[in-house]
A and B are shown apart, each in its own frame.
Chain A
Amino acid sequence: MTPISVVDIDYVALAPVIIVLVAAVIGVLLEAFLPEAARRSGQLLLTGSAVALAFLTVLIVAASRPFGPIAGGSLMLDGPGLFLQGLILLTSGTAILIMADRRVDPGGDAFAGRVSTLPGGEEEREVSRRGLMQTEVWPLMLFCIGGLLLFVTSNDLLTLFIALEILSLPLYLLVGMARRRRLLSQEAALKYFLMGALASAILLFGSALAYAYAGTIEFAGIAERISERTTANTLVIAAVALILVGLLFKIGAVPFGQWVPDVYQGAPTPVTGFMAAAVKVAAVGALLRVLYVPFGGMRWEWEPVLWIVASLTMLIGSLVALAQSDIKRMLAYSSIANAGFILIGVAAADQVGLSSVLFYLLAYSVATLAAFGIVTMVRVPTGEATSLEQWAGIGRRSPLLATAFSLILLSFAGIPLTAGFIAKFGVFTAAITAGALPLVIVGIVASAIAAALYVRIIVRMYFTDPVSASAGVASPSPLTVAGVGLGVALTVILGVFPQPVLNLVEQTSIFVR
């Protein structure tokens, strides 16, 4: 028998993932052995330091390690991967700050005290009287972040799928754990799980077909097989289509993103922010790698599909958002529309497109997190004030919060001197140079529609008199202030001085094959 060669693993390059996942396992042990009173602080300390340490490690790896395959070719260390890992850790860290807040809700944090209790039952009242909190949230977050980090660096189809599952399963749970409106939250979790399982199956089926075609699951090998071909093979076309659908589901593109509004509405708001920011970043990152590396040679096949999906996503996202009366649903549709704008950059399919998408992801994710962070603060006695009607006159009660939210909305609308403008400008110019002018026209129309939407909310906050049911603004803890403040500050800074970050994304935007 031939001896099995031991895989050579660069542990330093792998360190960010290892740190996060080991911390997650330790988190489970903390749950098992720490006394109840000490759990929350212990978990917070562990989670916060793990994410911070992982972020530092990403910086160290970026500075010191040569680019190339790591972990026996399952993962790829390259510029976009590292940038996305850093971005995921940055946004996750911000999301964790907002999640850790237990001042805005008098009952505790955003999660149900005991998820297992019956909504509205006697047991639930008992739990909330004792002020219990579900601390399993934190290990779940860490597992999810670990999955995200793997997702953007995976270098073969199987790793991609496993990473998808690692990140998805904790998310399904997190979605169902809201403290308020628990039935809605549980319903959302079930929907997300069912839909996610379906999408995973489609992705896996596509991967199997790709293996059947190429005889390998490694991205480089698939790319090689595709470049050898003379005519397109039905098998590989079906593989591309199904993998594309699986990933577009996670991104929330039309028509694969119908779950987005329901799930974003039902999930605890900080988790919604985390999903809209970090998870979308990772999904777009994976889509970029899959389309550019293994299937880059089939650009002419997938590009038209992406054009249509992007147009539909932008238009329908913006239009339906106009008709929403719930702020979280509105932000959900807005995130769908933003996914469309991101796809414009993806469809450009070159280095400029890649760098523009990376910038867009940064601008979009920090603004989104801040937006959902602000939503957690605007409250009525029964919970968050999600109905837009209740937002009337917020501008007069809390000018600072309304100004911050207006800045974010203006950024979403792509008004100059905000990060959103530079980002939209970037993807549009990238698409034009790649010859996608019609797509850009659709994009500009969609952003004009979306601007009306955002202005409507600004009107509501500033120019409408408060009604009796209007919401108040809870005084947040420094954690939320830090998270939201970071998002707002980055939105402005990236709008006025984008150049350092533009340089960074330009340098990092080359996939190693």
Chain B
Amino acid sequence: MNAAWPIVALGGLAFAFAAFSVVIAAFTGPKRFNRAKVAAYECGIEPTPQPIGGGRFPVKYYLVAMMFIIFDIELVFLYPWAVAFDQLGLFGFIAMMLFLINLIVPYLYEWRRGGLEWD
């Protein structure tokens, strides 16, 4: 079997799942529209049209989103480390701690400089 087949199959499955979700939601979901529901991403931020003349948009949502991504990525690295903890030994432990410290530093920065204060 060609090595490319699993990739094609995975792609097909992913596409099928996406199409299935959209179609089935259209048939089964309740339809109660309001302004927040029809907005793109449903997050309160309108990406288009952008405000004219150098207008600004709140960045708080993005701050939280970025925090989420950082800790998300942290988890991605923590899982394999936890699985192979025995073999990695002390070296792996120290390396992981250094990694965690590196993640905590920007968190401290954000917290101390008021990035987490909502108002």
Interface residues of A (CB under 8 A from B): 1, 3-4, 6, 25, 28-29, 31-33, 118-119, 183
Contacts and interface: CB of A to CB of B under 8 A. Distances in A.
Given A6-B91, A31-B109, A32-B109, 18 more contacts: A1-B87, A4-B84, A4-B87, A4-B88, A4-B92, A25-B102, A28-B105, A28-B106, A28-B109, A29-B108, A31-B112, A31-B113, A32-B112, A33-B108, A118-B54, A118-B56, A119-B54, A183-B54
B6 interface: no
B49 interface: no
Nearest to B107: A32
A1 B105 CA distance: 35
Contacts of A183: 54
Interface string B74-92: 0000000000100111011
A28 B111 CA distance: 12
Contacts of B92: 4
B33 to A, nearest CB: 35
Contact of A3 (B54, B87, B105): B87
B101 to A, nearest CB: 8
The 9 tightest CB contacts between A and B, nearest first, are A32-B112, A32-B109, A6-B91, A4-B87, A32-B108, A3-B87, A28-B109, A28-B105, A25-B105
Contacts of A33: 108, 112
Contacts of B109: 28-29, 31-32
Contacts of A4: 84, 87-88, 92
Nearest to A119: B54
Interface string B20-44: 0000000000000000000000000
A91 to B, nearest CB: 27
A3 B54 CA distance: 57
Contacts of B54: 118-119, 183
Given A6-B89, A118-B54, A118-B56, A32 B113 contact: yes
Nearest to B56: A118
A29 B105 contact: yes
A119 B88 CA distance: 51
Nearest to A32: B112
Contacts of B106: 28
Contacts of B108: 29, 32-33
Nearest to A9: B91
| Most chain B CB atoms below 10 A, which of A28, A29, A32, A33 | A32
A159 to B, nearest CB: 16
Contacts of A32: 108-109, 111-113
Contacts of B113: 31-32
A183 B54 CA distance: 10
Interface string B36-64: 00000000000000000010100000000
| Most chain A CB atoms below 10 A, which of B54, B56, B109, B113 | B109
